Amino acid sequence: MHTLTIIASNHTYPIYIGRGLLANQALLNQYIVGNQVFVVTNETVAKLYLPLFLTNFDGKQCDYIVLPDGEAYKNIANWSKIIDALMSKKHRRSTTIIALGGGVIGDLTGFAAACYQRGVNFLQIPTTLLAQVDSSIGGKTAVNHPDAKNMIGAFYPPQAVIIDIDALKTLPKRELAAGYAEIIKHALIADPEFFAWLEKNQQQLLNLEADSLEKAILRSCEIKAAIVGRDEFEQGERAFLNFGHTFAHALEALTGYNTLLHGEAVAIGMVMACRLSVELGYISPTMTERVLALLSALDLPVSLPVVCSIEQIVNEMQHDKKATDAGLRFIVLEQLGKAKIVENISTQQVRTILKT
Amino acid sequence: MHTLTIIASNHTYPIYIGRGLLANQALLNQYIVGNQVFVVTNETVAKLYLPLFLTNFDGKQCDYIVLPDGEAYKNIANWSKIIDALMSKKHRRSTTIIALGGGVIGDLTGFAAACYQRGVNFLQIPTTLLAQVDSSIGGKTAVNHPDAKNMIGAFYPPQAVIIDIDALKTLPKRELAAGYAEIIKHALIADPEFFAWLEKNQQQLLNLEADSLEKAILRSCEIKAAIVGRDEFEQGERAFLNFGHTFAHALEALTGYNTLLHGEAVAIGMVMACRLSVELGYISPTMTERVLALLSALDLPVSLPVVCSIEQIVNEMQHDKKATDAGLRFIVLEQLGKAKIVENISTQQVRTILKT
């Protein structure tokens, strides 16, 4: 088991990466403070893991809620359902809320934990690759607004993140690929050697080869942990993690959060962000081609969905949290392994990129 | 103008106390960072102050929402309305949200500011006495759950609290009295001389005599600012500010948040908490009588509403955020000016107090 540490403003917390952790009773119970536990999960994960997982907390008051699976359910209605369930089971301030699932469950549960009684203990147990390498780390929690993604939320770091690599054995291939998109993002913005390693090991990763997978997860978590440790509240470099995301969020909103997986939207968004980086004179077209090749090799989409018109995408991006008073804001690559914030990008420039 | 300073974990912020501050354009604009302002207020305050207040921000994008007046509206539905309005007017992360109103507006707006885009700039401009001396100070924001008060919220300190004493000229007498309840609470838990001063100056306070009112507000804010500065997240002494509140929250919930004002419920709750302090052997019955006399003199209720049965109150208190795994928890007076947390109080003990 590997242990990483994240320094947040109010507390420091560990990320554990290993095998069999979903059944590691001693480790899990170390983070249950009171005698109440509340597990939030979805229908898919519940079938596979919930009954066994709950036995970790025998002897405690242990309640749970099973939500439908999918980004479309990351909304205020389901957040309210979690709060209502906590209330009806009389969970107190000393309760521990556990997110057992992917990024949707993690974000939604974290936001419920942040708000219930102004904040209760919270454990992240991500079961998808995307959640393990990205969304469970760094304390961002949120739900979507009908008009834009992650518009309502909180910075609320968990007490611990517990990553069980074994959980990936049951993950559909499409979701695995979506996770690789964020791993590639971390390599692109922070570590050229890691990017080259990913290019070289793409086949092993597709085959879920144990050592390669573990290395990819560990390195990805290290990169993200270091960035959010230095910039928890996104005053500076944390914004680099949004590489590809301005485009991605617009695509997800326009397709109703039920067509593209988040990682798939990020893959397309990273291709667009690479093109913008070329357009602004930072990287060469060859770099975009390498990114495109790696994403394709890992079965990720690389071009805009036909249902989204360029005008719709541009309009949607103006809602983005990263839009400033002066114009659109993007993260681009200055070079492989080095990201940069660019501001005041005109809608005309964006149209050009999208038309490529 | 007096200035106090509160030290919160992520930033330090000022409380300004003075006259004419609602029209102090220079002071107000010092806290508007971007070019967008969003004012949240209620129907009562809007009629009196909104049109003039908005002129402070000429030249900026200034939007507002006017909500119905009353504790019954401090809920998720109105919180969502604020978020929806921010979205539809395309407010960005650099916007500043202003709460112009009493405790309900402050709590609701603060929670919206905490959650919109994971937190935007926020100004508290309390216009009731209760909000000026208590709820606007210390960063607690929340909405009520149908089953209990303040169950959903965040610790989210504002950028500044701006207290205009002139706003109290239009405050109904009943709401003024409700504010005095919290002032008396601050004296009871922290400052025996201030309590004696309040006893001596009750007539001046009822008559809104300028100097007495200013002194009462300033001293009350000083006491609260000092406590929350030392214990922002209620790990210890901040809980003392809940003196009378375990009883009060139950009474408010049982009367549907529309019969008793919060300060009125606190007045009744403080009488009960004094009786519990006597029952536990800390203070003498004479002290309870002094508290009862001062509250009555300031036109505050001191006995349980007839509509609430003792069993209903006891059952309701078990929902309280301050309930622990082991039993009910209360704040009592060890002596005048010194509060204490007592735990594991049995429901039987509570019944005895309520029957007195």
User: Which of A76, A73, A68, A19 is CA-nearest to residue A45?
Assistant: A68
Q: Are residues B224 and B302 in the same domain?
A: yes
Assign residue A252 the CATH number of its domain: 1.20.1090.10
CB-CB neighbors (< 8 A) of B245 in chain A: none
| Cβ burial B245-259 (10 Å sphere, 16+ → b, else e) | bbbbbbbbbbbebee
Do residue A152 and residue B83 have CB atoms under 8 angstroms apart?
yes
Rounded-to-integer distance, Cα A244 and Cα B336, Å: 61
Which tokens sit at A285?
């077209």
pLDDT tens column, A300-352: 999 998 888 999 999 888 876 666 666 789 999 999 999 999 998 998 999 99
Q: Are residues B251 and B327 in the same domain?
A: yes
Distance from CA of B94 to the nearest CA of A (A): 7
CB-CB neighbors (< 8 A) of B325 in chain A: 34-36, 92, 94
Domain boundary pick from B119, B139, B169: B169
Q: Are residues A205 and A327 in the same domain?
A: yes
Q: What pLDDT sits at residue B214? A: 93
Q: What pLDDT sits at residue A20? A: 96
The DSSP code for B255 is: T
Which residues of A are designated catalytic?
A: 118, 140, 182, 224, 234, 238, 242, 245, 249, 262
Domain boundary pick from B131, B154, B169: B169
A54 has pLDDT over 90: yes
A184 has pLDDT over 70: yes
Rounded-to-integer distance, Cα A274 and Cα A293, Å: 13
Distance from CA of A42 to the nearest CA of B (A): 23
Band (A10; pLDDT cuts 50, 70, 90): confident
Domain boundary pick from B141, B169, B197: B169
Model ipTM value: 0.90
Q: What pLDDT sits at residue B325? A: 62
Which of A117, A317, A322 to mutate against chain B (most B CBs within 10 Å)?
A117
Do residue A87 and residue B151 have CB atoms under 8 angstroms apart?
yes
CB-CB neighbors (< 8 A) of B238 in chain A: none
Q: Which residues of A touch B (CB under 8 A)?
A: 9-10, 34-36, 76, 80, 83-84, 87-88, 90, 92-94, 114-119, 140, 142, 145, 147-148, 150-155, 233, 318-319, 321-325
Which of B92, B118, B143 to mutate against chain A (most A CBs within 10 Å)?
B118
Band (A71; pLDDT cuts 50, 70, 90): confident
Rounded-to-integer distance, Cα A114 and Cα B33, Å: 26
Q: Are residues B150 and B182 in the same domain?
A: no
Do residue B83 and residue A155 have CB atoms under 8 angstroms apart?
no
Which residues of B are designated catalytic?
A: 118, 140, 182, 224, 234, 238, 242, 245, 249, 262
Q: How many CA atoms lie within 13 A of B106 on its CB side?
A: 28
Which tokens sit at A299?
């079965």
pTM of the model: 0.91
Q: Are residues B88 and B203 in the same domain?
A: no
Do residue B92 and residue A321 have CB atoms under 8 angstroms apart?
yes
Residue of A nearest to B61 (CA): A325
Compute the residue count for chain B: 356
Q: What pLDDT sits at residue A321? A: 62
CB-CB neighbors (< 8 A) of A94 in chain B: 324-325
Which of B152, B238, B318 to mutate against chain A (most A CBs within 10 Å)?
B152
Q: Are residues A348 and A204 in the same domain?
A: yes
Do residue A325 and residue B9 have CB atoms under 8 angstroms apart?
no
The residue to which tokens 């901040």 are assigned: B238
Do residue A152 and residue B9 have CB atoms under 8 angstroms apart?
no
Cβ atoms < 10 Å from Cβ of A1: 12
User: Which of A118, A78, A117, A10 is CA-nearest to residue A99?
Assistant: A78
Which tokens sit at A197?
């390693």
Give how far Cα B66 sits from Cα of A152, A178, B40, B117, B236, Å: 21, 43, 6, 22, 37
Three-class HEC string of chain A? CEEEEEECCCCEEEEEEECCHHHCHHHHHCCCCCCEEEEEEEHHHHHHHHHHHHHHHCCCEEEEEEECCCHHHCCHHHHHHHHHHHHHCCCCCCCEEEEEECHHHHHHHHHHHHHECCCCEEEEEECCHHHHHHHCCCCEEEEEECCEEEEEEEECCCCEEEEEHHHHHHCCHHHHHHHHHHHHHHHHHHCHHHHHHHHHCHHHHHCCCHHHHHHHHHHHHHHHHHHHHHCCCCCCHHHHHHCCHHHHHHHHHHCCCCCCCHHHHHHHHHHHHHHHHHHCCCCCHHHHHHHHHHHHHCCCCCCCCCCCCHHHHHHHHCCCCCCCCCCEEEEEEEECCEEEEEEEECHHHHHHHHHC
Q: Are residues A142 and A227 in the same domain?
A: no
Q: What pLDDT sits at residue B335? A: 97
Between β-strands B36-42 and B96-101, what pairing exists: parallel, antiparallel or unpaired?
parallel
A179 assigned to some structural domain: no
Q: Are residues A66 and A210 in the same domain?
A: no
CB-CB neighbors (< 8 A) of B108 in chain A: none
Q: Which residues of B touch A (CB under 8 A)?
A: 9-10, 34-36, 76, 80, 83-84, 87-88, 90, 92-94, 114-119, 140, 142, 145, 147-148, 150-155, 233, 318-319, 321-325
User: Which of A43, A185, A64 is CA-nearest to residue A127?
Assistant: A43
Q: What pLDDT sits at residue B258? A: 80
Apex B259 CA angle, B254 and B260, nearest 5? 85
Q: What pLDDT sits at residue A256? A: 80
Tell me if A156 sits within 8 A of A119, measured CB to CB.
Answer: yes
CB-CB neighbors (< 8 A) of A153 in chain B: 115, 117-118
Tell me if A135 sits within 8 A of A106, measured CB to CB.
Answer: yes
Q: Which residues pair with A116 in a beta bridge?
A: B152
Assign residue B11 the CATH number of its domain: 3.40.50.1970
Closest residue to A117, CB basis, from B88, B321, B324: B321
Which of B115, B245, B316 to mutate against chain A (most A CBs within 10 Å)?
B115
Rounded-to-integer distance, Cα B109 and Cα B102, Å: 11
Q: What pLDDT sits at residue B180? A: 97
Residue of A nearest to B322 (CA): A93
Distance from CA of A112 to the nearest CA of B (A): 9
Q: Which residues pair with B331 in a beta bridge?
A: B341
Between β-strands B2-7 and B12-18, what pairing exists: parallel, antiparallel or unpaired?
antiparallel
Give how far Cα B103 sits from Cα of B80, B223, B263, Å: 18, 18, 10
Do residue A114 and residue B154 have CB atoms under 8 angstroms apart?
yes
Q: Domain of B335? A: 173-355
Rounded-to-integer distance, Cα B188 and Cα B25, Å: 37
Do residue A115 and residue B154 have CB atoms under 8 angstroms apart?
yes
Q: Are residues B249 and B331 in the same domain?
A: yes
Q: What pLDDT sits at residue B322? A: 63
Between β-strands A328-335 and A338-345, what pairing exists: parallel, antiparallel or unpaired?
antiparallel
Q: Are residues A196 and A255 in the same domain?
A: yes
Q: Are residues A144 and A233 in the same domain?
A: no
A347 assigned to some structural domain: yes
Burial of A258: CB neighbours in 10 Å, binned 0-12, 13-18, 19+: exposed
pLDDT tens column, A195-248: 999 999 999 999 989 899 999 999 999 999 999 999 998 889 999 999 999 999
Q: Are residues B195 and B312 in the same domain?
A: yes
Tell me if B178 sits within 8 A of B46, measured CB to CB.
Answer: no
A177 assigned to some structural domain: no
Average pLDDT over residues A282-306: 96
Which of A35, A93, A116, A152 to mutate against chain B (most B CBs within 10 Å)?
A152
CB-CB neighbors (< 8 A) of B233 in chain A: 10, 119
Phi, psi values for residue A284, rounded to 5°? -90, 155
A125 assigned to some structural domain: yes
The DSSP code for B132 is: I
CB-CB neighbors (< 8 A) of A84 in chain B: 145
The residue to which tokens 């890992």 are assigned: A298
CB-CB neighbors (< 8 A) of A87 in chain B: 145, 147-148, 151, 319
Structural domain total, chain B? 2
Per-residue pLDDT for chain B (356 aa), expressed as one digit of tens each? 999 999 988 889 999 999 999 999 999 999 999 999 999 999 999 999 999 999 999 999 999 999 999 888 999 999 999 999 999 999 999 999 999 999 999 999 999 999 999 999 999 999 999 999 999 999 999 999 988 889 999 999 999 999 999 999 999 999 999 999 999 999 999 999 999 999 999 999 999 898 999 999 999 999 999 999 999 988 899 999 999 999 998 998 898 878 899 999 999 999 999 999 999 999 999 999 999 999 999 999 999 988 889 999 998 888 766 666 667 899 999 999 999 999 989 989 999 999 88
